[in-house]
Chain A
């Protein structure tokens, strides 16, 4: 009996092994095949599969916008569309549903006519574009249309039309601050903030691939972002757009009336050094860059130099008071001209008898001789150092594209004549922004603030970069000196011919006029640069308004005054500066 069992067991076992053997024999080639496909040829097969289904896509970042100080948009990124056609298929007629939902057949001419009506492109150009290369799949029908036009075109249901996105730029406020903002051309930024802040504004495009089903839907979970796109940062300027517009309008009116070649008007906030308006004439519209001459695409306030003339006297006297040499009531006897030795005779603008003038009187009468007399109570070297500290000879802290520092030679380089002439603003070259910035120091009781045009760059998360360095502020004049100089400026307005031209009822204003001769090929000719630099309110100055006319036919500074007063009025309204609660200062002008 035991033997039987053993035999049976053996048979069972053998059967089992047989079955197992067959199964294995079947499995082996399958395993080998599997191994081959999944391991050996894996990459090859995967690549092939991806190529058939996966789509690489560029994801576009958006260029940053440019804003003014109140958050109004000055430059905006927008999407426009080019409408393209496939000329090859355009010859076929197509079907679509009309208003009554009936199927109608539409021919090419009809389609072209409708297209022309919507896009504003003439039927002839569309037909010409389609006929230029009848076998190609690509021809431009309309360029840079906006989304509304695109939608209307899409509603036409023309099957041989396609669209492509064109990231574009628009400037909603037109020529307001146009030359400061700059413009974008198809080659990139062309001028202004668009150009020199491009590193902030420019986006970084990204890349991603995804797999697509046959009907174009993205397969879930198949998106691979190879590079994340980054939007450009927004640039915030210190400009107040409405004030800027008003300043430009007012400046253009006044500059034309005086028949000037160019003009600038600057509003500088005294407490912070921020540029609230920098208007130019002539000006440019970034929506239409080629409509104006290339020279309009820079900012003369930052890049054009000229000899300032009498507006410099304020700084000379401020330095003299700060050095302790004089006060606002120091008196001198002033002849109409004076020989300073070395064959140099300096004259006042018009003849007058010898006058006993205080510093205030010298300013009010804008006497060249009187200014030198007062200034010579301190050394020229000391005066030069004050001027360097006040920012002359170096570009301002604003960092505008192409900004220059002007020309200001000092002891060792200047000749005797220049040494004397720089007292009253000849023999050195400045930009109008430098002049405004120097008056900011006086208005701010002697402390210079960095001139600032760009508040900063803000990214998507609100991080701010590229802000002005707060460490750049410094004391240039003593507080006493600055305040006394403010008194001089106020006396100049209310004790001279300027008073009716510049006064704003209820407000205390200080100002200095300047008529500077322009040297052409080393010789002073007929051309001049007229300017007025003013500040308000004198009980606690808050804003500098500096207006300059370049080479006006009418060289009287009385032509500049209405512009200063208009812009100043607008400044008072914009910043809600209350009327004066104290009496105006009127220093004695004679002794």
Chain B
């Protein structure tokens, strides 16, 4: 009978310690397998517990993480809901402000404000060349139109009287329907007429100017206390009213 000299320390080796190498050994082994003995089962159990524990821990870990993930998911859903509501409110505010801006940049509003400041549109085309400060075109004070009184191009949005609009527009909310401040007497101020035909090759041409009637030679804003002058058109048309 050959006994295995080297005893391998693995479970496999232990349970099959007497691995059948000879006929007699097989019998012994079979007997040992069937009639078992506690010693045998104990040997098999120990290694298996470790695995069972690992598996159980794994299951617990999976369930726990599932629970945690679903908690975060639900929390996330609430956060999304809240952020979406914020987004909706913010974009509504942005839209509302955008509407106000569009209204306040309307030509009717700008013209009304300009008229209130005492500005008048000119008849002439005047350019200021930035590179050398040369004024081109003509600068004829006597050719000014009257202020845009009683504007013909309406904008219903500026006529509304909601409290909100009044808040934005302030006192100019009634400008569109206001009366004209033009003085219909013929009054020519200054009268210097400067006609400059251009030379060759302009580098920059900017600013078609709206020049006020009060200061013929400088492009500065008018003094709002001065009377607004309405010049009668020399061709026989009455001031534009």
Contacts and interface: CB of A to CB of B under 8 A. Distances in A.
A147 interface: yes
Nearest to B201: A581
B12 interface: no
Interface in B186-241: 195-200, 202, 205-206, 208, 233, 235, 237-238, 240
Interface residues of A, number: 60
A219 B74 CA distance: 8
Contacts of B208: 572-574, 576
A129 interface: no
A82 B25 CA distance: 96
A354 B105 CA distance: 58
B96 A146 contact: yes
A257 interface: yes
A118 B106 CA distance: 26
Given A146-B96, A506-B195, A175 B153 contact: yes
B144 to A, nearest CB: 12
Given A146-B164, A500-B235, A579-B198, A505 B156 contact: no
Interface stretch (A88-96, A97-105, A166-174, A472-480): A166-174
A173 B95 contact: no
Contacts of A256: 152
B93 interface: yes
B105, B208, B233 pick with most chain A CB within 10 angstroms = B208
Contact of A506 (B81, B137, B152, B238): B137
A171 B157 contact: yes
Contacts of B74: 220
A80 to B, nearest CB: 11
Interface in A268-305: 281, 283, 285, 287-288, 291
B125 A175 contact: no
Interface in A168-219: 170-176, 216-219
A174 B240 contact: no
A558 B195 contact: no
Nearest to A5: B34
B77 A219 contact: yes
B169 interface: no
Nearest to A579: B198
Nearest to A568: B125
A285 B195 contact: no
Interface in B134-182: 136-138, 140, 145, 148, 151-158, 162-164
A433 interface: no
A559 B95 CA distance: 45
A241 B107 contact: yes
A566 interface: yes
B11 interface: no
A576 B206 contact: yes
Contacts of A248: 152-153
B153 A558 contact: no
Interface of B: 34-35, 73-74, 76-78, 80-81, 92-93, 95-96, 99, 102-103, 105-108, 111, 122-125, 127, 136-138, 140, 145, 148, 151-158, 162-164, 195-200, 202, 205-206, 208, 233, 235, 237-238, 240
Interface of A: 5, 72-73, 76, 78-79, 118, 120, 146-149, 170-176, 216-220, 241-242, 245-246, 248-249, 252-253, 256-257, 281, 283, 285, 287-288, 291, 500-501, 504-507, 558-559, 562, 565-566, 569, 572-574, 576, 578-581
Q: Identify the 6 closest CB pairs spanning chains A and B, nearest first.
A: A174-B155, A573-B208, A172-B102, A287-B156, A252-B152, A505-B138
